[in-house]
Structure 1
Amino acid sequence: MAVPVAKEKKGGVASPAPLARHARKTEASAKQEAPMSAETHYLAVFTSDKTGPKWRAWRAMSEADQAETARLGVAAVADWEAAHRDSIVYQGGPLGPTKRIGDDGAVTDMVNLLTVFMVVRADSHEAAVRLFVNHPHMSIFVCDGVEVMPVLG
């Protein structure tokens, strides 16, 4: 499945292309999907400080440099996904603007570090975390980490 190269404009600044993809299941996960259990399934959430140095560097790039970085990054993400297809349970996708409701019922807009998510399977929590070493979202794009936690239900 081809990964679309798309850019969103936010405040006149192009966002990295993989962050604009829609959530989708991989072909392998559609064939192998099983009920989630705490022993094997992990939620991975990529984080990115929208005010941090990686975003400042992205915004400082010319549109041509952003496009070339996005081209290289999209290809690298597709390669990573192909190499890890047996571990990907749910492809996930980018996370949009956040709203929060408090216990008082008040709804507010907010910004957090959560950027992209996916669900993977692994033999252990440590193995799940290690799947993301040198992931293109961190090595090419603007994510600065991946939080990985077991799915408990």
Structure 2
Amino acid sequence: MPTFLAVYTMKAEDFARFRNLSKAEQDAIDAEGIPKWVAWEERNAAHIVNRGGMVGKTTRVTRNGIAATSNPICGYLIVEAESAQAAAELFRDHPHITVFPGDGVDIMPFVTDPPD
């Protein structure tokens, strides 16, 4: 079955807006979102090859050196599905975009063997 990289994205301004909420407001979003995220993973367990993880600040390496930079990537996981459309459908109701301030989930097919 084809394998896809699903990349969670979030705009910097949306993350900043979330972090500017009171602790109680952030905790309320977490209290709603975390159980929904767990339920989403349980519901889609047959498709999840690698749970991946969330990521932090970016350091870019180029031929000109190493520097801090930014991008919208905040996490990833690897899924199997019949097609890119089927993989995308898995994420339609994902808490990253329905509860948390996530911008989207980018779906990309692996063109080489995915990591184990």
Please give the per-residue CA displacement for 1:45-94, whole angstroms capped at 9, x wherever unaligned: 0100112xx33441342111111110111000000000000000000000
| Greater percentage in strand | 2
TM-score, normalized by length of structure 2?
0.90
Q: What does residue 38 of structure 2 align with? A: 78
**Structure 1: runs of 5 or more not aligned:** 1-38
Equivalent residue letter for 1:91: R
Greater relative CO, 1 or 2 (CA 8 Å, sep 6+): 2
Aligned twin of 1:124: 83
Match of 2:54 in 1: 94
Q: Percent of aligned positions with the same letter in both sequences?
A: 31
- Note the C-alpha offset of 1:150: 0.5
| TM-score calculated relative to the size of structure 1 | 0.69
Aligned to 1:42: 4
| Counterpart code for 1:41 | T
Q: When the two structures are aligned, how many residues end up with a matched partner?
A: 112
Q: Which whole-Å CA distance do the structure 1 matches of 2:17 and 2:36 have between them?
A: 20
More helix per residue: 1 or 2? 2
Output the aligned Cα RMSD. Answer: 1.2
Instruction: Give the secondary-structure state (helix, strand or coil) at the position aligned to 2:12.
Output: coil
Distance 2:77 2:90 in 1: 12
CA distance in 2, matches of 1:142, 1:73: 10
Q: Any stretches of 5+ residues in structure 2 without a counterpart?
A: none
